[in-house]
């Protein structure tokens, strides 16, 4: 506290039931503590604050950031359980068992009320890699998937297209809609994985954990917290996949049939044979689509910068 006070205006607050703070009503749940913290910040009238939470306070701070993001500018979550002695750590976990038995936390709102292995996993998940102790397992980062992928369009690009066409010909998928879809998925999927993995690298898993601790189910946390947070990555992946699929003329030519062709193949064939107004109309639509996408991207960037 002294070190922080040397450079920042610090307000230290005792959690309910700690120090001079009074207890919350019996069987209080984590959302009750979050509501208490929100009322406190609003009463101080400080605007968005830099919030640092320790131990149980870290859970409350994370919940406040999820429920009331307008009150939090920056967030630091400090969980000191992993830095205590084995005896002290066992005492903390035993205390969590006691709280789970004697309060509504056992109902599943706060997952620390589940078995000890789950609680230890939660503690490990928030631990920085440099502080990992005995028995800890590293948390895999999303970018690891990208590092396992080969160069999506390296020197062997033509060879893998030829091998793909040969395999599809043997399987009888050439000239079929299913074959077209699978072939384009195989070509575009590495670009989508790399783009989405990059977005996941910037997403803090503790935010999803905080949503679960505040009462959301794992699926609700993923759909209402994680996916909106990486929506820019999903949008970029969709655009990249479309452009890669659109540019894949060589594979589309080998996969085409007299009754099934992609638009790029049709344009290429028409340009070689006879130029028709259809090509001019298609080119105009493509230019308009490009302009619309550029305007949409500019508006999205402008909205995020506010």
pLDDT digits over 49-84, tens only? 888 877 777 778 877 887 788 888 887 777 654 455
Confidence of residue 209 (pLDDT cuts 50, 70, 90): confident
The last residue of a domain, from among 79, 105, 131: 131
The yes-or-no verdict on residue 181 having pLDDT over 50 is yes
The yes-or-no verdict on residue 144 having pLDDT over 70 is no
The yes-or-no verdict on residue 121 having pLDDT over 70 is no
Could you tell me if 113 and 149 lie in one domain?
A: no
Give the number of other CB atoms < 10 A from CB of residue 58.
21
Could you tell me if 70 and 176 lie in one domain?
A: no
Containing domain of residue 120, as a range? 2-131
Which residues have a Cβ under 8 Å from the Cβ of 221 and sit 6 or more positions away?
208, 211, 212
Structure tokens at 22: 């009074």
Q: What share of the chain has pLDDT > 90, as a percent?
A: 0
The last residue of a domain, from among 111, 131, 151: 131
What's the total number of domains in the chain? 2
Structure tokens at 53: 């939470």
In-domain check, residue 298: no
In-domain check, residue 58: yes
Q: Residue 255: name the closest of 155, 150, 171 by CA.
A: 171
In-domain check, residue 199: yes
Q: What is the pLDDT of residues 283-302, one digit of tens each?
A: 788 788 878 877 877 777 67
Q: How far is CA 229 from CA 96, 204, 207, 226, in A?
A: 31, 10, 10, 5
In-domain check, residue 136: no
Could you tell me if 17 and 64 lie in one domain?
A: yes
């Amino acid at each position: 506290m002294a070190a922080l006070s040397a450079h920042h205006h610090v307000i230290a607050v005792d959690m309910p039931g700690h120090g001079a703070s009074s207890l919350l009503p019996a069987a209080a749940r984590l959302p009750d503590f979050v509501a208490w913290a929100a009322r406190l910040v609003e009463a101080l009238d400080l605007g968005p604050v830099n919030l640092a939470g320790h131990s149980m306070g870290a859970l409350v701070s994370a919940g406040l950031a999820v429920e009331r993001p307008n009150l939090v500018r920056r967030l630091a979550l400090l969980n000191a359980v992993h830095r205590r002695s084995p005896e002290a750590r066992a005492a903390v976990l035993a205390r969590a068992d006691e709280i789970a038995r004697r309060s509504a936390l056992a109902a599943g709102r706060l997952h620390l009320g589940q078995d000890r292995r789950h609680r230890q996993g939660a503690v490990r998940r928030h631990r920085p890699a440099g502080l990992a102790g005995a028995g800890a397992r590293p948390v895999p980062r999303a970018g690891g998937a990208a590092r396992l992928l080969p160069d999506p369009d390296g020197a062997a690009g033509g060879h893998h297209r030829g091998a793909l066409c040969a395999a599809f010909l043997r399987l009888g998928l050439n000239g079929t809609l299913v074959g077209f879809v699978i072939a384009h998925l195989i070509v575009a999927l590495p670009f989508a994985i790399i783009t989405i993995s990059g977005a996941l690298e910037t997403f803090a898993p503790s935010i999803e954990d905080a949503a679960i601790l505040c009462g959301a189910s794992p699926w609700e946390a993923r759909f209402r917290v994680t996916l909106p947070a990486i929506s820019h990555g999903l949008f970029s992946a969709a655009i990249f996949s479309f452009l890669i699929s659109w540019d894949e003329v060589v594979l589309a030519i080998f996969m085409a049939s007299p009754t099934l062709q992609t638009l790029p193949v049709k344009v290429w064939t028409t340009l070689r044979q006879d130029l028709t107004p259809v090509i001019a109309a298609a080119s105009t639509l493509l230019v308009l689509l490009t302009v619309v996408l550029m305007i949409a991207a500019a508006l999205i960037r402008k909205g995020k910068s506010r």
